[in-house]
Amino acid sequence: MIFYFSATGNSKYTAECISADGEQLVSIAAAVDKKEYDFSVSDERVGFVSPTYNWTLPSIVSEFLQKLTLHFGAKPYMYYVATYGTTSGASTAMADHMMRKKGCHLTPVLMLKCRTPGHRSLICRIL
Ligand SMILES: Cc1cc2nc3c(=O)[nH]c(=O)nc-3n(C[C@H](O)[C@H](O)[C@H](O)COP(=O)(O)O)c2cc1C
């Protein structure tokens, strides 16, 4: 399962690229719109993909992470992918901080540098 937020397409494209065959993609914007914050997870991994806004998380993503409840049997591997233009700032740390309050740890797997909206230039860093 991959949760994503994307205003201009980079993060959605990223989520689609890293998803496994048949993996569920959940739009954070649609979930917030429907006030849907409870999700059952049967996958071995759960990802979050989001743009960096002002060196941190977009407010809609912060709101979503605060309200999110994940139901699972075995704890899945969780990761966070930030797309950004010049610097991802504190976005990965913020996401991890918010999820740790729920007993989850988000590994910052990789960050994608997206110089202009709609243009994915390169995978620049693997943490
Ligand atoms: C309001 C706003 C704030 C942004 N702040 C940052 C920033 O602090 N650092 C950065 O490197 N890129 C910043 N960006 C660029 C986006 O993070 C980048 O283009 C991202 O890939 C957009 O993702 P999306 O196409 O999924 O919306 C900002 C973009 C917007 C619209």
Express each pLDDT in 41-84 by its tens digit: 998 999 999 999 999 999 999 999 999 999 999 999 999 999 98
pTM of the predicted structure, to 2 decimals: 0.91
CA of 82 to the centre of ligand 1 (A): 9
**In the numeric block, which tokens belong to residue 7?**
């205003």
3-state SS string over the chain? CEEECCCCCHHHHHHHHHCCCCCCEEEHHHHHHCCCCEEECCCCEEEEEEECECCECCHHHHHHHHHCEEECCCCCEEEEEEEECCCCCCHHHHHHHHHHCCCCCCEEEEEEECCECCECCEEEEEC
The structural domain count of the chain equals: 1
| Binding site membership of 56 for ligand 1 (Cβ less than 6 Å) | no
Query: Which pLDDT score, from 0 to 100, does residue 85 have?
Result: 86
CA of 101 to the centre of ligand 1 (A): 26
Q: Which of 7-16, 55-64, 98-107 is most confident?
A: 55-64
Confidence check: pLDDT of 108 > 50: yes
CATH number, domain at 58? 3.40.50.360
| Binding site membership of 19 for ligand 1 (Cβ less than 6 Å) | no
Determine the structural domain holding residue 97 and report its residue range.
Answer: 2-126
